[in-house]
Amino acid sequence: MVGANRGYIKTSGSAKRLRFVKPGYDATDESVPPNKVIFDSNNIATAAILETGSQTWSHFTNVPLTRVSAWDYGFVPLCIIHWQYNETWKRNTLTTAEDTYPRLVKSTLDGLYAQFTIFGTNFSGYITMHWTALAIDARDGA
């Protein structure tokens, strides 16, 4: 849709309203199907939390692709990931200056998977992955 607004923030009554829709839809169109609305502050259920969890690994150097949670929602939930390395919280990014281990997290139809490598031989701490799965389909075009 040419000229479509993918999202907006505006005054609605006495409050602000924030709304985002998937590509090809117009956020200002109230008839957009609910499964095409990414977030609407007037309907918080669009970003409902399906589940939360965490997985901790300790005293390792490599973690192969491992399923850390199993589900069957009929779609791929959008997940928010936080990493805790010993007592330090890390961003959900690839290798950066603040840490030296690449991480891979995959949210799929059947669950959440993680894989990573710690470089160095003196690792004696732990790493914890915390996640929140939202009721938003993460697939393009879904």
> Per-domain residue ranges for the chain?
7-47, 49-137
Cβ neighbours, 10 Å, residue 132: 15
| 85: phi then psi, degrees, rounded to nearest 5 | -110, 110
pLDDT at 97: 44
Q: What is the pLDDT of residue 119?
A: 59
What is the CATH architecture assignment of 49-137?
Sandwich (2.60)
pTM above 0.95, yes or no: no
How far apart are the C-alpha atoms of 105 and 82, rounded to whole Å? 11
Residue ranges of the chain with per-residue pLDDT less than 50: 93-98
